[in-house]
């Protein structure tokens, strides 16, 4: 706070006292004039003159007194304002002092913590020096080296994670390839199994037990696992004495009894199937 801020209230107080003293001196002067002139002659002219003088002086004194009172009021207001400002300054100073005291306490705590950390650092330094090969090592340098190693380890770990993700993606690709290969193999195995079943039946033959020349039907018996199904065509051949005479189309299979029809247009001239003729399977490819 500047020096003028403290001098202002003092100046206001001095001005107020001076105004009061001036007003009091003027009142005293007026009283003396009235007392002095009261001893004049009692003539009417003298009294009128005295009254006029007194009135004139009284008005002047009243004006002077009024002005002094106004100045005094202004001075009092300024004094009150200055006192309020001084109170604000005082409050601010007290708050600042409290903050300073708080900061001083924080500084003391920080100094204590600093001392504790210094002691801990010295202990760690002593432990480090006790390690063979690190007798002359400095703690700060060791911490710096350790930090570098941690960064290197983090970089290596990130690289390993990236490789792991790549391997995981490749593993999923390989799993899909294996699954596709397994599906393909199962399909090929199924086809191969059907082929082998048909291949194993190449030597099977069945004797015709009945013939219907009118409707071009023949009847023969076959085991339940023969693999003959309704709708099969061009897979069964009728032979006589080792010579093929026609092919058959299976119409129905019921309890091992097979009903098939033949095409009369494909028969050799004058030849029709007869009871005792043999039904053979057409040999599958690779037989």
Note down pLDDT in tens along the chain; length 287 residues: 555 555 566 666 666 676 666 666 655 655 555 555 554 444 455 556 666 776 787 787 778 878 877 877 887 787 788 788 878 878 887 888 888 888 888 888 888 888 887 887 777 777 766 666 655 666 667 667 667 878 888 888 898 888 888 889 998 989 898 998 888 888 877 776 665 565 556 567 899 999 999 999 999 998 887 778 898 876 789 999 888 999 999 999 998 899 999 988 888 888 999 999 999 887 654 44
State the CB neighbour count (10 A cutoff) for residue 107: 10
Task: Report the domain count for the chain.
Answer: 2
What is the residue range of 275's domain? 204-281
Residue 68 falls within a domain, yes or no? yes
Which of 275, 254, 282 lies closest to 208 in space, CA to CA? 275
- Compute and round to an integer the Cα radius of gyration of the chain: 68
Which of 139, 99, 142, 144 lies closest to 123 in space, CA to CA? 139
Distance in angstroms (rounded) separating the CA atoms of residues 250 and 228: 8
Distance in angstroms (rounded) separating the CA atoms of residues 281 and 73: 141
Residue 164 falls within a domain, yes or no? no
State the CB neighbour count (10 A cutoff) for residue 53: 13
Distance in angstroms (rounded) separating the CA atoms of residues 154 and 164: 15
Residues in CB range of 251: below 8 A, 6 or more apart: 217, 230, 259, 260, 261
Residue 142 falls within a domain, yes or no? no
Supply angle C-alpha 5, 7, 10, rounded to 5.
125
For the question of whether the overall pTM of this predicted structure is more than 0.85, the answer is no
Long-range CB contacts (< 8 A, 24+ apart) of 237-240? Answer: 237/279, 237/280, 237/281, 237/282, 238/208, 238/262, 238/273, 238/277, 238/278, 238/279, 239/205, 239/277, 239/278, 239/279, 239/280, 240/271, 240/274, 240/277, 240/278
Distance in angstroms (rounded) separating the CA atoms of residues 110 and 244: 114
Distance in angstroms (rounded) separating the CA atoms of residues 265 and 260: 16
Residue 249's CATH number? 2.40.10.170
Residue 248 falls within a domain, yes or no? yes
- How do strand 278-281 and strand 233-240 relate by DSSP bridges? antiparallel
Residue 136 falls within a domain, yes or no? no
Residue 150 falls within a domain, yes or no? no
Q: Which of 99, 130, 150 is the last residue of a domain?
A: 99
Residues in CB range of 256: below 8 A, 6 or more apart: 221, 222, 223, 224
Distance in angstroms (rounded) separating the CA atoms of residues 185 and 179: 10
Q: Which of 99, 117, 142 is the last residue of a domain?
A: 99
Query: What pLDDT sits at residue 30?
Result: 56
Residue 46 falls within a domain, yes or no? yes
Distance in angstroms (rounded) separating the CA atoms of residues 258 and 220: 5
SS3 254: strand
Q: Which of 99, 127, 146 is the last residue of a domain?
A: 99
State the CB neighbour count (10 A cutoff) for residue 271: 12
Residue 140 falls within a domain, yes or no? no
């Amino acid at each position: 706070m500047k020096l003028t801020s403290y001098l202002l209230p003092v100046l206001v107080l001095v001005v107020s006292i001076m105004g009061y003293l001036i007003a009091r001196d003027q009142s005293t002067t007026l009283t003396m004039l009235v007392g002095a002139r009261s001893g004049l002659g009692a003539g009417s002219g003298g009294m009128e003159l005295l009254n006029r003088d007194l009135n004139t002086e009284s008005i002047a004194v009243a004006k002077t007194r009024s002005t002094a009172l106004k100045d005094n009021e202004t001075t009092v207001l300024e004094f009150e304002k200055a006192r309020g400002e001084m109170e604000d300054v005082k409050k601010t100073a007290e708050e600042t002092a409290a903050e300073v005291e708080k900061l001083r306490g924080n500084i003391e705590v920080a100094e204590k913590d600093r001392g504790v950390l210094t002691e801990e650092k010295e202990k760690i330094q002593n432990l480090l020096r006790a390690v063979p090969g690190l007798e002359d090592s400095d703690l700060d340098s060791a911490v710096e080296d350790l930090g570098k190693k941690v960064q290197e380890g983090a970089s290596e770990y990130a690289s390993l994670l990236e490789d792991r993700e790549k391997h995981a993606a490749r593993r999923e690709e390989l799993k899909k390839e294996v699954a596709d290969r397994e599906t393909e193999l199962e399909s090929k195995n199924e086809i191969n199994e059907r082929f082998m079943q048909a291949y194993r039946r190449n030597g099977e033959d069945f004797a015709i037990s009945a013939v219907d020349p009118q409707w071009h039907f023949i009847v023969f018996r076959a085991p339940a696992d023969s693999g003959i199904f309704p709708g099969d065509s061009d897979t069964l051949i009728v032979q006589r004495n080792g010579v093929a005479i026609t092919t058959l189309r299976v119409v129905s299979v019921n309890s091992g009894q097979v009903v098939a029809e033949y095409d009369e247009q494909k028969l050799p001239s004058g030849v029709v199937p007869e009871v005792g003729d043999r039904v053979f399977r057409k040999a599958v490819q690779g037989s």
